Amino acid sequence: MNIDNSYISAYLGDEPYLFISYAHKDKDEVYKIIKWLFENNYRLWYDEGIEFGENFPDEIAMKIKDCTHFIVFISNLSIMRDFVKREIHYAIKCKKKILPIYLEETLMSPGLDFTIGTIQGIEKYNLDWNQLCNYLIKGLPNECKVMNNSLARDINENVMFESDYKKQATADLDVASLHDLRMKAADTMKGVGIFINEITNLPIEFYKDINEIKMNISNFETSIYDLELKSKKDTTVNKTLVGGAAIAGGGAFLALTGPIGWAVGGAALWKLVSKKNKKNAEQAETQINTANNKCSELEKLDTKVKEVSTLVNTHNTYLRITVQELYNIPRDYNKLTQDQKVRLEMLVYNTRVLSELLNKRVS
């Protein structure tokens, strides 16, 4: 099968790009993947249109030196090609990140096996096309991709936290406890789980994340149940509750996002200093110094709690918005567009991150 690559131009700019190394006898199989990379907006360089001459080695070396990631297609043919081996060795010398893609089960020489055998690669011959595409998405850097604004917003977590999601997520932060936010997040993630379970033919990699999400939610709910039991049995547990949130065990696992919890200590201190005899005044001074230190600790704790609260709320808002935007997609993974597949993968990824935040201790 001949793949038309005439419209796939090798990238010549200064932005991050992928270097493609392969044997020309593998071109039909390789060009199909190059075509997919190009159509999915990856900047890439391969030897398209280059003339073999005295400057050819210099140009190849320069392109390897300037690339961000080096992709090499491994086959029983390519490992026999001197130029492919030289490209691999030069990429290693330049300390490039290397992604081997094995087109077939390959018997490598001891030297080549020693060079790249320990580098995690993609065994294309063991994957169907959709699985291969998913491995490429996970293995390749977004910096080598030309993204439209909406897709970049979804994929780049740093951009996401500076986006409208963050503004919407922080709108009600001052009146919500971290506990309440986590409870809402757990409900949202259960809804995401129901949505994901409706989609058939999911790649097997999805289920690893889904199982981890379920486990994290279960651990969170178990922790809440255990804390409630402890609160009922142990009268020494601080039961200052606002919206169901408790500070217990010297930590802030289910902590408040504001200074409301300081009121109990402040009231007790006020009662002590209102005594007018000297002994109580001396005791009050000691208590005030201790309280000042505790307040300083609480202020630091409060800052940390707010940071975690912002993360929880941002991810929770992102999940709700993304599920709404994806709700009408086909319920068969094989019928999704590539953009929908990427967004679905990022939905699962952000759900897993949020599930980890459920159990993050703040202390």
From 177-181, 235-239, 275-279, the region with the lowest mean pLDDT: 235-239
In a domain, 108, yes or no: yes
Question: Cβ atoms within 10 A of the Cβ of 216, count?
Answer: 20
Rg (CA), the chain: 28
Take residue 85 and report the two structure tokens written for it: 């081996």
User: What digits encode the pLDDT tens for the residues 87-99?
Assistant: 999 999 999 999 9
Residues in the chain: 363
Take residue 9 and report the two structure tokens written for it: 């131009």
Do 98 and 169 have their domain in common? no
User: What digits encode the pLDDT tens for the residues 299-326?
Assistant: 665 666 677 777 888 888 888 888 888 8
Show which of 144, 171, 198 is a domain's final residue: 144
Do 139 and 180 have their domain in common? no
Do 117 and 232 have their domain in common? no
Beta bridge partners of 272: none
> Which residues constitute the domain of residue 350?
149-358
Do 226 and 122 have their domain in common? no
The rounded distance, in Å, linking the Cα atoms of 136 and 199 is 21
How many domains does the chain divide into? 2
> Percent of the chain at pLDDT above 70?
64
Q: What is the distance between the terminal CA atoms of the chain, rounded to a whole angstrom?
A: 61
φ and ψ of 275, to 5 deg: -70, 140
Show which of 94, 119, 144 is a domain's final residue: 144
In a domain, 314, yes or no: yes
Do 162 and 129 have their domain in common? no
Do 60 and 184 have their domain in common? no
pLDDT at 193: 86
In a domain, 6, yes or no: no
User: What digits encode the pLDDT tens for the residues 42-65?
Assistant: 999 998 745 555 577 888 999 999
pLDDT at 162: 41
Show which of 129, 144, 159 is a domain's final residue: 144
